[in-house]
C-alpha cells in the first residue's frame, strides 16, 4: 500500500503526515508514506487544495486535515 500526502510542507500537511503514520502503525499495515511537495506533481492528481491524501494513487481527501481515526477508516 502506498499513501501519498499532497502538500507543500505547510503545518497542516505535516500534521496529516503524522496522522497517517499513526494510523498505519495502529492498524499494523505495511505501507509506504510518500510526501508529494512539488506543485506540478500535486496538480497531476487534480488536487487544487492541500493538504490532500491519496491511497494507491486514488485521492481520498482534499483540503482537510483528517484525524487518525478518519485515516484508519479510509485504510480498512
Task: Give the residue numbers marked as catalytic.
Answer: 10, 13
What is the DSSP code (8-state) at residue 72?
H
Q: Label each residue of 6-59 as H, E or C.
A: ECCCCHHHHHHHHHHHHHHHHHCCCCEEEEECCHHHHHHCCCCCCCEEEECCEE
Amino acid at each position: 500500500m502506498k499513501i501519498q500526502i499532497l502538500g507543500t510542507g505547510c503545518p497542516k500537511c505535516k500534521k496529516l503526515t503524522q496522522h497517517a503514520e499513526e494510523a498505519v502503525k495502529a492498524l499494523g499495515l505495511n505501507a509506504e508514506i510518500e510526501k508529494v511537495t512539488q506543485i506540478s506533481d500535486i496538480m497531476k492528481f487534480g488536487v487544487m487544495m492541500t493538504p490532500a491524501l491519496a491511497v494507491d494513487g486514488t485521492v481520498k481527501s482534499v483540503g482537510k486535515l483528517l484525524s487518525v481515526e478518519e485515516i484508519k477508516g479510509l485504510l480498512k
